[in-house]
Amino acid sequence: MKLWRLIRILWVIARFRLDALVPVNRLPALARPLFRLIPIWVFPRGDRPRGERLRLALEALGPIYVKFGQMLSTRRDLLPPDIAKELKQLQDRVPPFSVDQARTIIESELGADVTNLFAEFDSTPLGSASIAQVHAARLHDGSEVVVKIIRPGIDKVLRSDMALMRAIARCLSLVPDLRRLRPLEVVDDYQATLFDELDLNKEAANTSQLKRNFNNSPLLYVPAIHWPMTRKRVMVQERIYGIPVADVDALRDAGVNLHKLAERGVEIFFTQVFRDNFFHADMHPGNIFVSTETPEDPRYIAIDCGIVGSLTREDQDYLARNILAFFHQDYYEVANLHIESGWVGEGTRANEFAAAVRSVCEPLLEKPLKDISFGQALLGLFQTAQRFHMEVQPQLVLLQKTLLNIEGLGRTLYPDLDLWHTAKPYLEKWMKDRAGPKGLWESIKRQAPDLVYRMPELPVLAHQVMRQNEIEVRQRHNNSRAMHSIRTGLKQTRRRSRLLRYGGVLLVAGLFWQPLAHWAEQQPWPALAACALGVVLILWR
């Protein structure tokens, strides 16, 4: 099976002439002639650009590779712009699996017949994707639900395809120009994301957490999970009704306030990232709906929480301070934040990095605020930081992906959306609460239980610190004595060696004085001078 799959991949690579993506001149010397011997040239390249050929090849390879391309499209820090733009067009169109297979999985996971579990079960799926498909159903108490079912055999397909992807990534890592894209790291990130999506218990837990965070919120509604009927391969969730957020015409016809809807999308994003530290990281238009119950006071509905992100407190502070520094055009502060965080290479000069950041931001700030893309500014910052050996942080990649989705969505709903103006008051308030008296008091309250718990241990800990300090002082003293002893020994060794050389020269001169004197009388002065210099060098050494 693996061999056939490999043959299929090679066929698609040849058919779409993906060899054009490989810089042959950068290959190892031994690999170049072998690469040129491959008869891939028999396939015409055509007039399609390289990005389009790559997109079509991924679509031909199937849903797992399509999903991989979708993930790659968010890594604009790694891809050329033309390829990233083309990969954004990938659509996850997958034929549904049969209703009999769906029923078998449900009954296997829940241990009962579908007719006993549900009053109604729609055999026609509402949607089908690469990992799972969804059916509408009704519980015996009359509640309308959707049943999400993992595609049968998908785990085996994933493992097989991921093994091949890793093999290809290892080969790409041998090419210097492609090594900087870190192909193995990209494949590993993708694998972790995919296998998380195979466990619907995790998605259900993420959904419940997001629902708690926005409980009774006018901004966002998250459908409830029906936990008694949720397992690893089956999830039952409240069914929602709303207009897909990308259907702008339908939203207008329903009288939805698009300006308010766009601003609320921004507020939801910053609330998730900074207030809750738990954000939906797959907020593409297919996962977002809009409730039409109150069109003038619109409310989002979010589904599919398989991918979520979170940040450390340090990352939160870094991002908030960076964004505010952008607002105030304080590029030196941006540079210092990067250096303090340790995300750029050691020895980076703040003034040089500030100049590089200024070159990214100033052209944007010369435009009207409504024409500024905050997501693109953040992307430009990350790309600039890479020139200073900044390592891309996985949690920031998720954040960047989510921010670009939110910003694109907001501009689709309301083209004049001013993302910076909408975000600035929220961030300033968050920083004030975080660093002000309220934030200090909350920090003390949060740490108080741990401090009370540790209080009885403080005398012991203080004694341990003092004891450790005493041991370190003794060790330094012993090390100093040992170094002194070593230096004394080396001096004595050098003195003995010098005396040995002097004695050797004198012994040879004494034993062979007559022959040497006779020999010296017959030699020209340059030869005698060279011999004398040799003796001096021996004695000097």
Please list the active-site residues.
282
Q: 3-state SS of 86-137?
A: HHCCCCCCCCCCCHHHHHHHHHHHHCCCHHHHCCEECCCCCEECCCEEEEEE
| SS3 state of residue 148 | strand
Taking the chain, what is the end-to-end CA distance rounded to the nearest angstrom?
71
- Burial of residue 7 (CB within 10 Å: 0-12, 13-18, 19+) is exposed
The owner of tokens 């397992």 is: 231
Write the CA distances from 404 to 160, 186, 283, 489, integer angstroms.
32, 19, 10, 67
CA distance 432 to 67: 41
Q: What residues does 144 pair with on adjacent strands? A: 138
What are the phi and psi torsion angles at 513 (to 5°)? -60, -45
Q: 3-state SS of 363-374?
A: HHHCCCHHHCCH
| SS3 state of residue 533 | helix
From the list 184, 164, 227, the residue with the least C-alpha distance to 5 is: 164
With beta carbons less than 8 A apart as the criterion, state whether 269 and 406 touch.
yes
| CA quadruple 345, 351, 355, 357: dihedral sign | positive
What are the phi and psi torsion angles at 256 (to 5°)? -70, 135
∠124-129-134 over CA atoms, to 5°? 40
| Residue 418: its H or E element | none
CA distance 362 to 377: 10
